[in-house]
Amino acid sequence: MSDFGLAVWSHRIKQFGAQDEVEGHVAELADAGFDLIIPCVKNAPGAVDFFTDVADVNPEYPDWDPLKVLIEACRARGMKVHPWFCVFTEGDRSKLLREHPEYASTTEERPHWACACRPEVQDYVFELYKSLAERYRPAGLHLDYIRTGGPCKCEFCRGRMSDEGVDIGEAAPGTRPFEAWTQWRVGRIADFVRRMRGLTSDEGIELSAAVFSGYPDCIDHQGQDWVQWAEEGLVDFLFPMTYTQSVRVAVMRTTAHLAQVAGRVPVWEGLCKRASRFSDCTPQELAEQMRAVLQTGAQGVVVFSYGSLKPEDFEAIRALKSDQS
Q: How far is CA 31 from CA 22, 271, 323, in A?
A: 14, 20, 15
CB contact at 8 A, 309 and 279: no
Q: Which residues of 223-237 are buried (b: 16+ CB within 10 A; e: fewer)?
A: bbbbbebbeeebbbb
Please, which residues have CB within 8 angstroms of residue 198's CB and are 6 or more apart in sequence? none
pLDDT, position 110 = 55
Identify the DSSP state of 160.
H
CB 314, CB 28: distance < 8 Å: yes
Burial of 166 (0-12, 13-18, 19+ CB in 10 A): buried
pLDDT value at residue 113: 92
* CA distance linking residue 201 with residue 188, whole number of Å: 20
- The answer to whether residues 238 and 267 touch, using CB atoms and an 8 Å cutoff, is yes
pLDDT confidence of residue 150: 83
The parts of the chain modelled with pLDDT lower than 70 are 1-2, 108-111, 276, 278, 325
Number of other CB atoms surrounding residue 207 within 10 Å: 23
Q: How far apart are CA 62 and CA 282, in angstroms?
A: 34
Options 3.40.190.10, 3.40.1120.10, 3.20.20.80, 3.20.20.60; CATH of 5-324: 3.20.20.80
Name the residue ranges covered by the structural domains of the chain: 5-324
- Looking at residue 223, its pLDDT comes to 95
Asked if residue 17 lies in contact with residue 66, where contact means CB atoms within 8 angstroms, the answer is no
**What would the pLDDT profile of 179-225 be if each residue is shown by its tens digit?**
999 999 999 999 999 999 999 999 999 999 999 999 999 999 999 99
Distance CA 221, CA 150 (A): 6
Gap between the terminal Cα atoms of the chain: 9
pLDDT for residue 108: 60
Burial of residue 196, with CB atoms counted within 10 A of its CB: 0-12 exposed, 13-18 middle, 19 or more buried:
buried
Model confidence, pTM: 0.96
In the three-class reduction of DSSP (H, G, I as helix; E, B as strand; rest coil), residue 237 is classed as strand
Q: Smallest Cα–Cα separation from 261: which of 238, 243, 280?
A: 238
Per-residue confidence (pLDDT) for residue 323, from 0 to 100: 82
CB 43 within 8 A of CB 12: yes
Q: Are 12 and 49 in contact (CB under 8 A)?
A: yes
